[in-house]
Amino acid sequence: MEKKDLRIVYMGTPDFAVESLRCLVEGGYNVVGVITMPDKPAGRGHKIQFSPIKQYALDNNLPLLQPERLKDEDFIEALREWKADLQIVVAFRMLPEVVWAMPRLGTFNLHASLLPQYRGAAPINWAVINGETETGITTFFLQHEIDTGKVIQQVRIPIADTDNVEVVHDKLMMLGGKLVVETVDAILEDRIRPIPQEEMIQPDELRPAPKIFKETCRIDWTGKVKQIYDFIRGLSPYPAAWTELHNDNEAPLMLKIFETEKIIKDHSFNAGTLITDGKNNLQIAVTDGFISIKSLQLAGKKRLGIEEFLRGFKYSEKMRVI
């Protein structure tokens, strides 16, 4: 079968999913339909916002479905009418079996980790938070348990000590587009030999990648320098690590921290103590050194570099972060 004859249905929602769809469309593959999340209101005006995938589908005149429920009979019937040979999922939702088992060639997913490690909703964040020096992307066939299907292909990349989650996200997004196309070609040419993840598990413990909530992002200043440094870059720029700035009897202020440097050094300060020259240096004491803040954002304000922030910052020796 030629690629122009292979009927592909594509499912995804965020920016991460657009590159793979773009590679398929511009590569001449026959994308017969796109499925994305329903529109939702966003921002203070609650203006309806299209997902990046919906916008791409509209711009390229691709048939589109936005089901509220993936088991809805009308949706299932509309999906059947597309007569997909293959379905591809990138950053979407957990699919019921009636959906993923529908195409004759199956449904494969692009996941932003080296499965079986980092199964879950936030694999890029957790790989950086945990200080990994390597990550990658995986294509695998869907089955009942989430992120557990047989692996088709993987690509590895290094994570630099200075990379934040945005840098790693963008690298994996671009590589993901290429890997999706390579996986489709391998399926078309019957070159795949899927490997059960059970055969890939190493003796070390599996590391999960659960969904990240606001409270997940709160910084624990009693940790060590490397741990806190990785935590902050693993959440930067979004959703962003945060802390509370306390000053005597004043109401605490929420502070997001985006960029830091680590200083390992013996000291006698309590964890969370602020040290600053008031000009271009703001450090926070932790167990085995200091976290030097380079960019941050007070609640309701814009993100600032440290020098600009300190120009308008009224420092008190009683200040601390918790």
Point out the annotated binding site for (6S)-5,6,7,8-tetrahydrofolate.
113-116
Residue indicated by tokens 């996941």: 111
Pairing state between β 30-35 and 107-111: unpaired
CA dihedral 191, 192, 193, 196 (to 10 degrees): 180
Phi, then psi, of 67 in degrees rounded to 5:
-70, 140
- Tokens found for residue 305: 């570099």
* Binding-site annotation: residue ranges: 113-116
296 strand-pairing partners: 257, 304
- Tokens found for residue 73: 């009979």
Contacts of 313 (CB under 8 A, 6+ apart): 276, 278
Residue 98 has a CB neighbour count (10 Å cut-off) of 13
CB-based contact 12:50 (threshold 8 Å): no
Residue 45 has a CB neighbour count (10 Å cut-off) of 7
Angle at 118 between CA 114 and CA 122, to 5 degrees: 115
Residue 108 has a CB neighbour count (10 Å cut-off) of 29
User: Cα(67)–Cα(105) distance, rounded to whole angstroms?
Assistant: 23
CB-based contact 41:51 (threshold 8 Å): no
Phi, then psi, of 265 in degrees rounded to 5:
-165, 140
CB-based contact 229:236 (threshold 8 Å): no
